[in-house]
Structure formats: C-alpha cells, structure tokens
C-alpha cells in the first residue's frame, strides 16, 4: 500500500472519528455506551448468522469480546477460532477489540495441545532475566495472536512478587519479580514484541496485587497493611516510556489511598485521583472482571456500574467465565443498565463522551515495527 493510499485511509479514519465524537443524538449515545462494554462469549467455539452475539455486535451494544480456553474447539482449533473471530469482526462498524488473557505459564489459553505456541510464565522469564529470551517467547506469542485475528492481550502483569504466600499472583508465577527494575524491564520487552505485530497490551493489576493476602475472585481483598508504594513504579515507568496502551484496575481495597473502603475499580480516589491526577495517565482504564466476587457479591450489578464509570473506568469487563450457579451477563443487559444510569442523571453524558474518546483513540492507535 503506497503513501497516498495510507493518507486517504488515515483521513477517512479521522473523519469517522470526528463524526462519532461530535454527534449528540440518542443513537450516538447508544453507540458510545456500547464501546465501553467488553464481554465473554460463553461456551461458544463458533458462531452462525442467527447468533444473538452477532446481533449485539451489529447493533453496537458491545465494543469488544474476550476469549478463554473454553472458546477453543478441540477439533481444527486454529481454523475454527480464526473463522469465529473474523465473523465477529465483520459484524462491527467500529473495529472490534478481540482480546485474550495470554500471560503464559498457568495463564495460557492457546496451549500447545491445541497446536498453538508454548509460552513460559513471567516468573520463569524474570528469574532467567535474559532480554533475548523474553523477546523470543513474546514475539512467538504475538505472532500467534496476529495470525488468529486477536488484537488485544491482557498482559503483561506488572504486579511485584512481594508476598511469597500470595495465591493469585505470586504462587501462580504471574509476576516477573519482586524487583521494580526487573518487572519494568521484562514488561517493556513484552510490550515491544506485541507492538511489532500490531497487538495492543494492558498493564495489570493497578495499584498492585502482588502483596495481597487474598484473591479478589472470591471476595473482598484489603491490602492496606501489606501494600508498598513501590508497587506503583512499574505502572509509572511504563507510562513514561510512551508504550502503555491501557491499564486494568484490581478489585482491592487500600485505605491508605481511599478511606471509603471502596476497591480500586470502584474508587474515584484511586482511578481519578491516583492514576489520572497523581500519575498523569490519560489512556483507557479497564476494569478487571466485574463478575469476580469482590464486586458482584458486595456491590450489585447497578451500583457497581455506577461507581466504576464515575470512578474513571472506561471499559467494563464481563468475562462470563463463571460457574454454573452464577448467571452470565449479556452485552444488552450491561448496555441497558448504563443507559438507564445516564438517563437518571447518575452518570453524566460528559463522562460517557470522555470514555468514548479514549476508546476510539486506543482503537485508532498504530505501532510500527520498532514497537513505538
């Protein structure tokens, strides 16, 4: 593609973005809210033309989807997954974020048993502490993601391995190290490898989950007495490098920063106060999964949405990777609830516009072969 074609494509994208961001009709509110919603696709390993998920995508009720291992067919895994992703992408007027949790090690969906690439854990790479090895493995992973049509990875984890008894991060080998320098170094290499393939990444779990003594998948986690200020440093260092695409919040309480006892995902003092005002982050903030019990069992569906959006979270994640006793949540349900909160005046239209602008900027962002 020559430079003239690139110029016209860029101009068209700019015109499209301007028309989206400047309209104020009811339909544009629906579209903007839809871009704030990321959902899991249940147990699907394929989709057909009558699938309700495709209808949600066509109707702009959802801006992104997240895949899990259960969405990989045991038969002809690569082609089946690639076809399903392409079918979903083709239904979306605005480019769809197709995401996956691919940290490696124990958080590895695209396993070799399905014919995909091997990916060691962050702990292994951090202990090895060899830049070439980290780049090699992450390049292989990013190349795999690109070949499938996945454009967003929930990695790297930049949590520090502070508490050796931590069950959610440290014992699962999801942290590169307890050293700020080592975590920053290998996270930047991971990001570079993904950007070379045009894959966007996310830093998690803000403000740091590696010192916790509990798991927010199962309930409230309070890190007030265990958290260390240095847990912010990998986030800050990578933000300042200019390569940070997005940041994910953790469902953890830290009364040193928020005396109201709200977890970071629902805390304006944490997201707007610490992350945006103190640290200067201007990009997209994702929630961790809103169906994790720290949120779903303590704040309820409506209240947690209201608090999270007003706290400064731009994309709400409902992974639907739940047990049989927990009810899946559709994009339509989330969309209707957010719209109701806006119409009731509990969330301002300005806040929706702010989130929407950030999301469109993220979707329009491109990286060259050098990862910058």
CATH code where residue 91 lies: 3.20.20.300
Residue written as token pair 């997209």: 284
Q: Measured between alpha carbons, how far is residue 232 from residues 60, 77, 208, 314 in Å?
A: 35, 39, 7, 20
Which tens digits make up the pLDDT trace of 242-261?
999 999 999 999 999 998 99
Whole-number Å distance between alpha carbons of 232 and 169: 16
Mean pLDDT in residue range 294-308? 95
Write the CB contacts of 170 (distance below 8 Å, at least 6 apart in sequence).
Answer: 161, 162, 163, 164, 210
Domains contained in the chain, number: 1
**Residue 369 maps to a domain:** no
- Do residues 184 and 233 make contact, with C-beta atoms less than 8 angstroms apart? yes
Which tens digits make up the pLDDT trace of 64-83?
999 999 999 999 999 999 99
Domain that holds residue 139: 25-364
Which tens digits make up the pLDDT trace of 147-183?
999 999 999 999 999 999 999 999 999 999 999 999 9
Write the CB contacts of 369 (distance below 8 Å, at least 6 apart in sequence).
Answer: 196
Mean pLDDT in residue range 10-14? 41
Active site residues: 217, 288
pLDDT at 10 over 60: no
**Residue 355 maps to a domain:** yes
H or E element: which one contains 240? helix 233-241
Per-residue pLDDT band for 23 (boundaries 50, 70, 90) equals very low
- Do residues 50 and 44 make contact, with C-beta atoms less than 8 angstroms apart? no
**Residue 81 maps to a domain:** yes
Find out whether the peptide bond into 205 is cis, omega within 30 degrees of 0. yes
Tally of CB atoms within 10 A around 79: 12
């Amino acid at each position: 593609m020559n430079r003239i074609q690139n110029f016209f494509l860029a101009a068209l994208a700019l015109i499209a973005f301007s028309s989206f961001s400047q309209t104020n009709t009811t339909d544009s509110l629906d579209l903007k809210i839809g871009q704030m919603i990321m959902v899991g696709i249940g147990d699907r390993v394929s989709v057909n033309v009558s699938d309700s998920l495709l209808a949600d995508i066509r109707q702009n009720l959802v801006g992104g989807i997240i895949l899990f291992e259960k969405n990989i067919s045991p038969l002809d895994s690569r082609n089946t997954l690639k076809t399903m992703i392409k079918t979903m992408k083709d239904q979306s007027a605005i480019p769809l974020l197709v995401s996956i949790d691919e940290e490696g090690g124990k958080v590895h969906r695209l396993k070799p048993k399905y014919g995909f690439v091997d990916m060691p854990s962050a702990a292994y790479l951090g202990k090895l502490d060899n830049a070439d090895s980290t780049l090699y493995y992450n390049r292989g992973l990013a190349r795999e993601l690109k070949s499938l049509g996945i454009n967003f990875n929930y990695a790297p984890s930049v949590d520090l391995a502070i508490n050796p008894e931590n069950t959610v991060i440290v014992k699962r080998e999801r942290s590169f190290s307890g050293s700020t320098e080592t975590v920053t170094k290998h996270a930047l290499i991971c990001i570079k490898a993904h950007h070379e393939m045009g894959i966007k990444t996310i830093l998690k779990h803000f403000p740091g989950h590696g010192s916790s003594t509990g798991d927010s998948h199962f309930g409230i986690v309070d890190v007030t007495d265990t958290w260390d200020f240095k847990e912010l440093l990998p986030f800050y260092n990578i933000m300042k490098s200019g390569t940070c695409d997005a940041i994910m919040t953790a469902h953890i309480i830290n009364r040193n920063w928020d005396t109201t006892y709200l977890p970071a995902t629902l805390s304006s003092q944490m997201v707007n106060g610490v992350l945006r005002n103190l640290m200067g982050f201007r990009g997209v903030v994702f929630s961790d999964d809103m169906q994790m019990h720290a949120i779903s069992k303590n704040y309820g569906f409506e209240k947690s949405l209201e608090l999270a959006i007003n706290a400064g979270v731009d994309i709400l994640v409902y992974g639907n990777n739940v047990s049989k006793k927990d009810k899946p949540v559709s994009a339509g349900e989330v969309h209707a609830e957010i719209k109701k909160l806006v119409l009731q005046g509990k969330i301002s239209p300005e806040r929706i516009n702010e989130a929407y602008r950030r999301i469109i900027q993220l979707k329009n962002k491109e990286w060259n072969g050098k990862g910058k």
